[in-house]
């Protein structure tokens, strides 16, 4: 299977929780020799989290992407995109956002909505533990089971082109602090999720931001990547950059992952 390491399909601008302008992102990608990028800020949400595009900013977000496409399109293929926040309770909102029309959309699960309150998964370890201990009463297996259930639902909606940072739930799992990836129950969750991704004919990203996160490795883990490739799931690269300088980050290390 061929993986395009000159294509970065996951990044965030200052329209959501990124720190750079779209023009800065395009310039950085060109300087690094990339051929294609997707600008994929966090979709607007009725919950109004700090990290998403404001609901009143979505048209200016689209206009800005088109402006950068016109300015740099002769040097770089720039896709308009969003990182979709899959929350089943607001699926109508998600669908209406996707229906606005995008070149590329990522299916991600960042939080659970419990009694109308968001419980975050990968914001920071304090929030992770809050979700684990309050929403799941300390049961990490139940936490993981719900997370991957939502990932499978997100993949099955038909709304997205790829699944983002598949196993981001491991972000703080250094030295198996919370769970063992080699546990049969955990591996079964992964295999079931890969089966759904394959059946839905969508892509899976190798997200290199995990290398600079506490876990210190890509999402998903190399054994998952290897199994996804064995199943014929198309693989794309995503830096999940929040500053222009890290676009395409660690793609060279991803080239030597076992696949």
- Give 79-124 pLDDT, tens digit per residue: 999 999 999 999 999 999 999 999 999 999 999 998 888 899 998 9
CA distances from 31 to 24, 35, 191 (A): 11, 10, 38
Q: Which domains does the chain have, with CATH numbers?
A: 7-254 (3.20.20.140)
Is residue 195's pLDDT more than 60?
yes
The tens digit of pLDDT for each residue in 129-149 reads 999 999 999 999 999 999 999
- pTM, two decimal places: 0.95
**Number of C-beta neighbours around residue 191 at 10 A:** 12
CB 209 within 8 A of CB 165: yes
Is residue 50's pLDDT more than 80?
no
Percent of the chain at pLDDT > 90 equals 91
Map residue 43 onto helix, strand or coil. Answer: coil
- Residue 233: which pLDDT band, with cuts at 50, 70 and 90? very high
DSSP codes, 179-232:
--TTSHHHHHHHHHHHHHHHHTT-EEEEEGGGGGSTT-S-BS-HHHHHHHHHTT
Provide the token pair at 74.
């002769």
Residue 211 has, within 13 A of its CA and on its CB side, a CA count of 18
The tens digit of pLDDT for each residue in 165-194 reads 999 999 999 999 999 999 999 999 999 999
Residues whose CB falls within 8 Å of the CB of residue 257, separated by 6 or more in sequence, listed in order: 206, 218, 222, 225
């Amino acid at each position: 299977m061929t993986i395009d390491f000159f294509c970065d399909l996951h990044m965030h601008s200052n329209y959501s929780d990124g720190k750079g302008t779209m023009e800065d992102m395009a310039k950085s990608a060109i300087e690094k020799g990339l051929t294609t990028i997707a600008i994929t800020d966090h979709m607007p949400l009725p919950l109004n989290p700090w990290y998403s595009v404001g609901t009143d900013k979505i048209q200016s977000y689209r206009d800005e992407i088109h402006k950068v496409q016109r300015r740099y399109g002769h040097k770089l293929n720039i896709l308009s995109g969003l990182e979709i926040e899959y929350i089943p309770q607001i699926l109508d909102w998600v669908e209406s956002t996707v229906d606005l029309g995008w070149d590329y959309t990522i299916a991600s699960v960042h939080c659970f909505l419990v009694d109308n309150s968001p419980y975050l998964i990968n914001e920071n370890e304090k929030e992770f533990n809050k979700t684990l201990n309050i929403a799941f009463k300390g049961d990490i297996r139940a936490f993981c089971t719900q997370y991957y259930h939502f990932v499978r639902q997100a993949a099955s909606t038909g709304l997205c082109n790829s699944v983002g940072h598949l196993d981001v739930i491991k972000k703080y799992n250094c030295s198996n602090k919370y769970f063992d990836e080699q546990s049969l129950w955990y591996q079964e969750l992964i295999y079931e999720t890969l089966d759904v991704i394959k059946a839905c004919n969508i892509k899976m990203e190798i997200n290199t931001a995990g290398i600079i996160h506490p876990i210190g490795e890509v999402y998903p883990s190399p054994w998952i990547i290897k199994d996804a490739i064995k199943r014929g799931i198309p693989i794309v690269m995503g830096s999940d950059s929040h500053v222009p300088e890290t676009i395409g980050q660690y793609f060279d290390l991803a080239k030597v992952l076992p696949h």
